[in-house]
Chain A
Amino acid sequence: MILSTSLNSTSYSFFDKLKAVDYFLIIIVAIIGSMSVFSIYSTENGNFSFYTKNHLTRFLIFFSMFLVLSFVRVSFWYRQAYIFYILGILLLLLVIFFGISASGSKRWLNFFIMNLQPSELMKIAIIVCFARYYHRIQSSDIQSYKYLLQPIILLLIPCYLVITQPDLGTAILIAGSGLVVIWLAGLNLKYFIYSGLILLVSLPFVISILKPYQKSRILTFFNPDRDPLGAGYQIIQSKIAIGSGGLIGKGFLQGTQSYLEFLPEKHTDFIFTLFSEEFGFLGSIVLILFYALLIYRIIRIGSSSRSFFAKLYCFGFASALFLYIFVNIAMVVGLLPIVGAPLPIMSYGGSSMLSIMLGLSIVMSCKIYSRDPIGN
């Protein structure tokens, strides 16, 4: 029945489509993208070499991809939602057998042109999948056990696969993205409260099955000075870098903490730290404002969409995006344990960039084809 959805699609002229494009969104993405290129350039102490080149290339390719894919009809994503999800699961399974290991975890698949991290794609796939799932369900049915169990299973499978890689951070983000959609779809608040309580009760058990390094990270979060040269090193150095940035920062390419290599993972998870050290409190606020604008634009697109799928997707994606950004920044300023979550667009990393751009292109597609009545 789902597959036989009638597509009495509206026809759009090319001009209409161009008119419908949210240029403001594109500009914001371009601005954050350029900021990211400069930041990566700074991680290489102002040398235009490996990381900067790679990052710039990826940004340009995926940004173009975003623009092109924006013109894919939103109904396509609706139709392929489950396929997208299954594809994601398949790729995660492939990681188990053919994955590339790095620093103790197996997360990547070698696709010759790039190493793909399927868990990153899963972050988008789960939103698309749930948006479609809840698109058709009547609000009265949502609370039923059947419709409660199904999404939970759909959510647990990728989370489990990702946790075992192991990659706690991405698993949390996938779970968070999924839960946000479930929440938006209208699942009763009590379930969230219940599951929250269950999680709290089972916390000791969860901790006991965590890997030693994960445990140490959590313990370190509560007391970074526990092991200042080991597990606490990253967070201490990150706080020093950010704190010493002050109001206006040390200046572009002047961040001593990153330049002198005190900062770990400065290309990826700690890119915000570098940015904040060099551009200070004001710079950080500006960057956060751009992100806020981006999220605002996405929510606006969702609000003006007619279809439930588009709404769920846009709101879900916007919230997920917020979650990524929040987790990353909260992590580097020492508000959350270090779990390994990249900052969208800013962080070096192809898969993350790919999934964000893909997610954005679906948003844009929702905008361009906002009049498409999906699946009704």
Chain B
Amino acid sequence: MIKKTDNLNKNKIISRRLFILVAAKIGLLGIVTSRLYNLQISEKQKYEVLSDKNRIREWKTPPQRGIITDYFNNVIADNRRVYQVHLSLEEVSNFNNSIFKLKNIINLKEDEIKKIYENKEKSKPWDTLIISENLSWNEFSKLNLYLHELEGAKPVLSTSRHYPYSNDLVHVIGYVGDATTKDIQNKKKIEENFVPGLKVGKIGIENSKDTDLIGNHGTKRYEVNASGKKISEISYNKETQGENLRTTIDLEIQQLAQELLKKKAGSICVMDIYTGEVITMASSPTYDPNKFTHGISTKDWNEIKNNKLRPLLNKSLAGLYSPGSTIKPLVALAALEYGIIDQKFKVNCKGHDHPYELYGERYHCWKKNGHGIMSMRNAIKQSCDIYFYEVARLLGVDKLSLIAKRYGLGSKVLEDFFSEEKKGIVPSTKWKKQVLEQSWYLGETVITGIGQGYIQTTPLQLCLMTAQLANGGYKIKPNLIYDKEIDLDKIKSKIESEKNKSVSKNILKDHKFKHYERLYRNPNNLKLVLDAMYGSTNEQFGTSFRSRHKEDKYKFAGKTGTSQVKRITDQDRELDLELEEIEYKSRDHALFVAFAPYDKPRYALSVLIEHGGSGSKAAAPLANKLIKKILDRHELREKIREDLKKFA
């Protein structure tokens, strides 16, 4: 009986407890279900994104740089097919072993191997490592032959930057190299399009126009598994090539200029005096930009770096030189504009025995026996120093400084286009107070009058100065990249309208001018100066008379300059050494500025030979050859200009 009631009791308990259990189960089931609902319905999108992130991996494909041409559409920077070998890290079981095998096949040097190991440290396990960027055909075919033994190695046909005229344009185009962390930080475009092995511009146009040239990287999306192995390609967003650029450079003239500068240190700049197009910007010595594309070897680098003639210096715009006598037309112009003197003003140059004296200090003319009584035109033509000492003294450095700045000295010609461009120095009393914290001495004014002393200019500035004198005294906008906004006809009509404008009151005080605005007060002053420059080249006793062209169509006007590197002592004057007898570093810089053709000026140029001696002997003769070439190519250039205008 007890058993029976107990059984009943037990059954009761078990039923009750089962009921509680089932209730608990239903509760727990509810929790699980709501969790599933939460994951799969409420937060589905979040997890879908995470799942795609898991399974899809992007590979960036490198963009192709835009092509750079000269004005005549000659390609001066393009992309050449190169043979490379890449190593897919996920397929490599023993990295050291693979590198050892590769080393034997493609002749890797020690420093290259070191770099490979460095890169490997930075890579992810599924990355591809570039082992060699530029294999010879022999190496490449050998690699293909042994490919079965090289796990993970991939022969790749790629493209890389190539400069067909290697040395001739390096100072204009610059070169490319691997993007550094700094490059990536500085330029958003690089950051956005960065892929391992991306080349970016280091200097020159390649650098300043990087944003346009670089193009957009492509994206390949692959489905990958958990260990990163590619399973299938999902999409391929193709990379795009960067913009093509047309420069204003004339390849042939540039080449001739570089040829003329061969084995010398110097610069030649040629500019269109209306459009401001830089037609040539040669600097010597040069170096091969192609060597930088894949990382320059230490030996080559040292060779370039240790060259005494400083190939890395872009002398046209980063070399600073005293302008010497090339500034004299500007000094004369300033004095005339301010009405300090008129063209009849005369000074007697009596030779070394009777030098110019100021407060006991003596200033000599370059001509031992003196020029005699000099008028302004003659003084420019024969480059009489005594005359300009006196004119400068009367003028004062501050007025000279104003005019010099107005015509392009003391500021960057291409603005911020080239990071290395220097602005030079146009001294004034204020400048000296601010920078040197000293008072100005009149003696310093006197030597500034012949382009010595504090004044420092770049050859490109001298070229611009000449251009703005030659075009009749109008401010132009120098440019290196073809710009359809800069239209010759428009400029000419703008200048024409400026010519007839009445002179603004502040013409003698302002030095900030808008493009194509007139810079002069009285056109006759400028005419006189330009005529004197004509005399300098085309008349007997002119300093560049020997470099003149006799044919009318090539006739040009110029001004020589010889800029002293060190002070000439009485002893030096006594010795009167020949150029070859002076130590190279102490020789004068030879300068020459010119414009051509004389009757209808169109081009201005500057020539500088470092330590070349006198301007008339070393610099002016180069201009002779150059001007012939420039004028011969004028028609062709104008035809291209018309075509470009038509197609625009």
A interface list, Cβ under 8 A from B = 138-140, 180, 183-186, 237, 239-247, 256-257, 259-262, 276, 280-281, 284-285, 288, 292, 295, 299, 302-303, 308, 311-312, 315, 319, 322, 326, 329-330, 333-335, 376
User: Measured between alpha carbons, how far is A3 from B39 in the docked complex, in Å?
Assistant: 53
User: Measured between alpha carbons, how far is A312 from B50 in the docked complex, in Å?
Assistant: 46
Q: Which residue in chain A gives the minimum CB-CB distance to B7?
A: A308
> How many residues belonging to B are interface residues under a CB distance threshold of 8 Å?
39
B1-36 contacts to A (CB < 8 Å) = 3, 6-7, 9-11, 13-14, 17-18, 21-22, 25, 28-29, 31-33, 35-36
Tell whether A242 pairs with B39 under 8 Å between CB atoms, given A322-B25, A326-B28.
Answer: yes
Contact of B13 among A186, A239, A281 (CB under 8 A): A186
User: Measured between alpha carbons, how far is A322 from B22 in the docked complex, in Å?
Assistant: 10
Nearest-CB distance from B92 to chain A (Å)?
20
User: Measured between alpha carbons, how far is A261 from B227 in the docked complex, in Å?
Assistant: 8
Interface flag for B642 (CB, 8 Å): no
User: Measured between alpha carbons, how far is A319 from B59 in the docked complex, in Å?
Assistant: 52
Q: Which residue in chain A gives the minimum CB-CB distance to B225?
A: A260
- Residues of B close to A303: CB separation below 8 A: 18
- A contact patch SS: helix
Would A260 and B55 count as touching, CB distance under 8 A?
Answer: yes
Q: Which residue in chain A gives the minimum CB-CB distance to B53?
A: A240
Interface flag for B579 (CB, 8 Å): no
Interface flag for B47 (CB, 8 Å): yes
Would A312 and B32 count as touching, CB distance under 8 A?
Answer: no
Nearest-CB distance from A292 to chain B (Å)?
7
Nearest-CB distance from B140 to chain A (Å)?
35
- Residues of B close to A240: CB separation below 8 A: 47, 50-51, 54
Interface flag for B44 (CB, 8 Å): yes
Q: Which residue in chain B gives the minimum CB-CB distance to A281?
A: B40
Would A329 and B32 count as touching, CB distance under 8 A?
Answer: yes
- Residues of B close to A284: CB separation below 8 A: 36, 40
Would A319 and B44 count as touching, CB distance under 8 A?
Answer: no
Tell whether A299 pairs with B18 under 8 Å between CB atoms, given A260-B54, A260-B223.
Answer: yes
Contact of A138 among B6, B11, B21 (CB under 8 A): B6
Would B40 and A256 count as touching, CB distance under 8 A?
Answer: no
Would B10 and A308 count as touching, CB distance under 8 A?
Answer: yes
Q: Which residue of B18, B31, B224 has the most chain A CB atoms within 10 A of its CB atom? A: B18
User: Measured between alpha carbons, how far is A262 from B53 in the docked complex, in Å?
Assistant: 12
Would A186 and B14 count as touching, CB distance under 8 A?
Answer: yes
User: Measured between alpha carbons, how far is A54 from B217 in the docked complex, in Å?
Assistant: 49
- B contact patch SS: helix
Would A292 and B29 count as touching, CB distance under 8 A?
Answer: yes
Tell whether A299 pairs with B50 under 8 Å between CB atoms, given A243-B43, A276-B40.
Answer: no
Q: Which residue in chain A gives the minimum CB-CB distance to B32?
A: A329
- Residues of B close to A326: CB separation below 8 A: 25, 28-29, 32
Would A185 and B223 count as touching, CB distance under 8 A?
Answer: no
Nearest-CB distance from A128 to chain B (Å)?
16
Q: Which residue of B9, B14, B22, B54 has the most chain A CB atoms within 10 A of its CB atom? A: B14
- Residues of A close to B11: CB separation below 8 A: 308, 311
Q: Which residue in chain A gives the minimum CB-CB distance to B35?
A: A333
- Residues of A close to B36: CB separation below 8 A: 242, 276, 281, 284-285, 333
Contact of A244 among B3, B6, B50 (CB under 8 A): B50
Interface flag for B575 (CB, 8 Å): no
Interface flag for B37 (CB, 8 Å): yes
Would A239 and B14 count as touching, CB distance under 8 A?
Answer: no
- Residues of A close to B7: CB separation below 8 A: 308
Tell whether A243 pairs with B6 under 8 Å between CB atoms, given A184-B14, A281-B37, A299-B22.
Answer: no
Nearest-CB distance from B326 to chain A (Å)?
70
- Residues of B close to A311: CB separation below 8 A: 11, 14
Would B231 and A335 count as touching, CB distance under 8 A?
Answer: no
Q: A-B pairs with the 4 shortest C-beta distances?
A: A243-B47, A244-B51, A186-B13, A260-B225
Would A183 and B226 count as touching, CB distance under 8 A?
Answer: no
User: Measured between alpha carbons, how far is A280 from B44 in the docked complex, in Å?
Assistant: 10
Would A140 and B6 count as touching, CB distance under 8 A?
Answer: yes
Q: Which residue in chain B gives the minimum CB-CB distance to A291?
A: B29
Contact of B14 among A257, A288, A315 (CB under 8 A): A315
User: Measured between alpha carbons, how far is A180 from B51 in the docked complex, in Å?
Assistant: 39
Q: Which residue of A185, A259, A280, A329 has the most chain B CB atoms within 10 A of its CB atom? A: A329
- Residues of A close to B33: CB separation below 8 A: 285, 288
User: Measured between alpha carbons, how far is A239 from B11 in the docked complex, in Å?
Assistant: 43
Interchain Cβ contacts under 8 Å between A and B, 6 examples: A139-B10, A260-B223, A308-B11, A315-B18, A322-B25, A326-B28
Contact of A186 among B17, B37, B39, B224 (CB under 8 A): B17
Interface flag for B632 (CB, 8 Å): no
Would B40 and A280 count as touching, CB distance under 8 A?
Answer: yes
Would B47 and A239 count as touching, CB distance under 8 A?
Answer: yes
Contact of B48 among A184, A243, A315 (CB under 8 A): A243
B381-423 contacts to A (CB < 8 Å) = none
Nearest-CB distance from A164 to chain B (Å)?
29
User: Measured between alpha carbons, how far is A247 from B36 in the docked complex, in Å?
Assistant: 10
Nearest-CB distance from A176 to chain B (Å)?
12
User: Measured between alpha carbons, how far is A256 from B6 in the docked complex, in Å?
Assistant: 58
Q: Which residue in chain A gives the minimum CB-CB distance to B49?
A: A244
Nearest-CB distance from B490 to chain A (Å)?
62
Interface flag for B501 (CB, 8 Å): no
Interface flag for B41 (CB, 8 Å): yes
User: Measured between alpha carbons, how far is A183 from B17 in the docked complex, in Å?
Assistant: 7
- Residues of A close to B47: CB separation below 8 A: 239-240, 242-244
Nearest-CB distance from A341 to chain B (Å)?
14
- Residues of B close to A288: CB separation below 8 A: 29, 32-33
Interface flag for B505 (CB, 8 Å): no
Interface flag for B509 (CB, 8 Å): no
Would A333 and B32 count as touching, CB distance under 8 A?
Answer: yes
Would A243 and B50 count as touching, CB distance under 8 A?
Answer: yes
Q: Which residue in chain A gives the minimum CB-CB distance to B22?
A: A299
Tell whether A335 pairs with B48 under 8 Å between CB atoms, given A281-B36, A299-B22, A308-B10.
Answer: no
User: Measured between alpha carbons, how far is A334 from B9 in the docked complex, in Å?
Assistant: 41
- Residues of B close to A185: CB separation below 8 A: 13-14
Contact of B231 among A183, A239, A260, A319 (CB under 8 A): A260
Would A247 and B54 count as touching, CB distance under 8 A?
Answer: no
- Residues of B close to A333: CB separation below 8 A: 32, 35-36, 39
